[in-house]
Structures are given as C-alpha cells and as structure tokens.
Amino acid sequence: MRRPLALLAVVLLAAILAGCGGGDDKKDTTKKADKKTATTATQPKTATTPPQSAGLTRCVKVATPAPKAAKTLPKPTLKLDPAKTYEAALDTSCGRFTVTLDVKRAPKTGASFVYLAKRGFYDNTIFHRIVPGFVIQGGDPRGTGQGGPGYSVVEPPPSDIKYTKGVVAMAKTEIEAPGTSGSQFYVVTADDAQLPADYALLGKVTAGQDVVDRIAVVRTDATNPDPAKQERPIDPVVLRTVTITESKGK
C-alpha cells in the first residue's frame, strides 16, 4: 500500500502499502500494508458457535503461532453467487469483527479469500503490521509480510474506490499490477488513507469496528533498529479463525 501526506505522502504511502506483500516469497516493497497468504484444505465454516474472543473488551496476551510452511496452492476456481451475501467473521485475540465481502464489485478477490478461509489458511496467523492511523494488516502464513498462497489473482478495483475507515483491501508489492492479490489483506483505520486505486477491494467491516480500533493501537516495536520490524506488534495479535457464512442477498 502507499501512504500519503499531501502528494508526497501519497507517494510515500504507496511505497509503504506496496510493500504489503506480493506473491509467495516476494520482497516486501510496500510500507503501509503487506498482504498475501496461503491455505490448506478444510470444510467451509459456519458461524454457529460464537468464538471465545467474541466478547473481549481488551486484547488477550497469547503466544506467537509458529510460521506455516511455505506451499503453493492451486489457483481457485470457486465462484461466489452475486445474489447472496457473504460475511467473514475474523476471531482474533483482541475480539471478533465481521467483514461483508463486496461480491458484486470484487467477485474474484472475494472468491479467493473465501477459498483460503475455508481451507483454514488464515487460522493461527498474526497481524504482522500495525500502522496507527493508517491500517492493520494480516493474512501472511509466515508472519513476515512476504508470504502468500503461491498464486495471485488480478482484479482491478473500482475506479471510484476510496480507502476509508473500515474498508478492507488486499496488499500487493509495488511492482505488481493494480488489483493483484494473494492472501494478505489490510483494514483501513484512517478516516481516509488517501491511497491510489491500486489495491484490490475485498469488502468492509460491518460489525466489530471497536475490535479493529483496539488492534490499531496495539504497541509496536517502533524503536527496533530493523525498519522491517518497527510496525510489528510487541505482543502478537493472533487471527485464530476466519469463518465464512452466506445468506440470501440483503
């Protein structure tokens, strides 16, 4: 993703978000939102039992999950029904929030996310990047900002897209084409991140914005001499599960 500050800031931001993560094992050339991940086969999940962290009012201290082994998944062929509503419940160590996928404007991106979520790809991963007043980012099985599922999907975002608070989009490297995504995603926490229309749209937070806000202020290792680790939380924020539900269109 990229970070703006006037016009210069937009360029800076661009460099930052671009580093959001490209395909499997690519260099992180963005600075504000890395993304991409992979998954493993599993049955589609349904939100029948509320996750343990659903009622949290603060983040729970947990251990950092072990990085997942690199793998190359087959490109998904899944197609989502535009007449249905698809929601992803993200159960984290800071609580649970829900993202409603924008199936009509981003069907391919949404289908890839659902494909990965149903395979358990996102389970026990971390939010590896937190930039106060900008974004929170996760979806990397390796937890470094450089991991992915071994494939990419390209779906240019709507030309009129605005990356405003609560919008969820996919990260990519600076050298990848607009709309390219793997598994890494980010949630905008700024009122307006002022990013160019380069990042594939996934959806919008429709429940649990307080949880996103809680994650957004988790302390990071800002004084680390390694710039790549300065936006990493000191205490890990773990994404335990992603549960997909579908219903008749609203």
Evaluate whether residue 232 is within a structural domain.
yes
Nearest to 138 by CA among 152, 158, 121: 121
Kindly state the tokens that stand for 170. 């996919």
Residue 243: is its pLDDT beyond 90? yes
Q: What's the pLDDT tens digit per position in 127-181?
A: 999 999 999 999 999 999 999 999 999 999 999 999 999 999 999 999 999 999 9
Residue 196 CB partners (closer than 8 Å, separation 6+) = 2, 10, 14
Instruction: Quote the pTM value.
Output: 0.80
Domain range enclosing 98: 6-248
Q: What's the pLDDT tens digit per position in 186-232?
A: 999 999 999 999 999 999 999 999 999 999 999 999 999 998 899 99
Evaluate whether residue 96 is within a structural domain.
yes
Residue 46: is its pLDDT beyond 90? no
User: How many domains does the chain contain in total?
Assistant: 1
Evaluate whether residue 1 is within a structural domain.
no
Residue 75: is its pLDDT beyond 60? yes
In DSSP terms, 167 is beta-bridged to 204
Evaluate whether residue 181 is within a structural domain.
yes
- Write down the residue that tokens 């996934």 correspond to: 202
Give percent of the chain above pLDDT 70: 77
* Distance in angstroms (rounded) separating the CA atoms of residues 50 and 54: 6
CATH number at residue 107: 2.40.100.10
